[in-house]
Structure 1
Amino acid sequence: MSTRLRAVRAVREGAAALYGAAAAAVVVAPALILDSTATGGGVAPSWQALDLLAVSAVVGLGYGVVCYRRLRRQSTMTRSRPNVWIAAVHALVALALLSSVLLAVVLHELGSMQAPLAGQEWTLLALWGGVQLVAVAVAEGVERGVFRWLTSPERRALAGHGERPVPARHYRRGP
């Protein structure tokens, strides 16, 4: 393997690793924000939000590994590498929106059930983890859907990649 190919491969794998780390960070970010808000406002001691952080870390690290492996595989097996990264960025945006907004909506809607949830910590942890898993599943669906749409034969044909145009010198000019 030539030096150039090794360098390209290293850059490709490094980019996939950075993307996996970014996906994990996006999943863990809401727990970190909640922890800093709760401890900064004096609502809870700093060690109480570690359980939410642990659940988010497990989900985030799992999804980060999935993203890393998928991007590594797709970027070596497909000819449309820009489409792989476009779909990945769309998935990361969907994950960022869903992992924070979906949690806020669910926790807001369950505000009336705060008293029953207060005594059952495992219920809140299961809810937190479940919402994070839903956000990960939707982001994965967005990635796959966008990638399929970008690489569909109909879209490539519309973009002009399906058939080669006939050069102008082959057209007849007048009678």
Structure 2
Amino acid sequence: MSTRLRVDGVVREGAAAVYAVLAFGVVVAPALIIDSTARGGGVAPTWQALDLLAVSAVLGLGYGVVCYRRLRRQATMTRSRPNVWIGAANALVALALLSSVLLAVVLHELGSMQAPLAGQEWTLLALWGGVQLAAIAVAEAVERGVFRWLTAPERRAAAGHGQRRVPAHHYRRGS
């Protein structure tokens, strides 16, 4: 086995791991921001923000594993590795936007329901986790859609090479 192949594999594995850590960080970031804002403003004790952080950490860890496995698989199954990373970058941007903006919109809309939700911590955790799951699902859909769109010409070309072409003079005319 050549050194080039081993180095290429290590770089591919390392890049997938770095991306997985970034995806984890993007999912956890809104909970960290709420925790630091609550502590800085003296609004809530730090233990109340830890449950949001725990939910985000579990979802982020799961999504990081999914990203790592997907990137390793896609990088070995396609000839054009930049397409893999273009799709992944688009997914990371979609995840960053949705995990923060969608949460802000949902929590803003629930501002009028603050009193009913005050004593129901599990409802807020379920809402938080649901919104984060929706952001993750949309990010995965974006990644898969962009990757398929970018690799469609590659797949069509590969499918065309395996087909036998019949020359035009073999067709009968005027039957």
Cα deviation code 1:100-121 (max 9, x no counterpart): 0000000000111111111000
Q: C-alpha separation between the residues in 2 aligned to 1:151 and 1:135?
A: 24
Cα deviation code 1:28-85 (max 9, x no counterpart): 0000000000000000112220000000000000000000000001001111110000
What does residue range 26-37 of structure 1 map to in structure 2 within 5 Å?
Answer: 26-37=26-37
- Structure 2 partner of 1:77: 77
In the TM superposition, what is the alpha-carbon distance from 1:3 to its structure 2 partner?
1.4
What does residue range 32-111 of structure 1 map to in structure 2 within 5 Å?
Answer: 32-111=32-111
Distance 1:3 1:105, change over 3 A: same
- Structure 2 partner of 1:114: 114
In the TM superposition, what is the alpha-carbon distance from 1:154 to its structure 2 partner?
9.1
Q: Tell me, which stretches of 5 or more residues in structure 1 are unaligned?
A: 163-175
Contact 1:31 1:56 in 2 (8 A): yes
Aligned-residue sequence identity (percent) comes to 86
In the TM superposition, what is the alpha-carbon distance from 1:153 to its structure 2 partner?
2.5
The structure that is helix-richer by fraction is 2
- Structure 2 partner of 1:170: none
User: What is the one-letter code of the residue matched to 2:137?
Assistant: A
* Secondary structure at 2:46 match in 1: coil
Q: What TM-score does the superposition give when structure 2 sets the normalisation length?
A: 0.87
User: What is the one-letter code of the residue matched to 2:56?
Assistant: S
Deviates more, 1:38-47 or 1:11-20: 38-47
User: What is the one-letter code of the residue matched to 2:109?
Assistant: E
Contact 1:149 1:155 in 2 (8 A): no
Distance 1:94 1:120, change over 3 A: same
Q: C-alpha separation between the residues in 2 aligned to 1:40 and 1:3?
A: 52
Cα deviation code 1:117-169 (max 9, x no counterpart): 11000000000000000000000000011011111139988xxxx9xxxxxxx
Q: Tell me, which stretches of 5 or more residues in structure 2 are unaligned?
A: 161-175
Contact 1:31 1:53 in 2 (8 A): yes
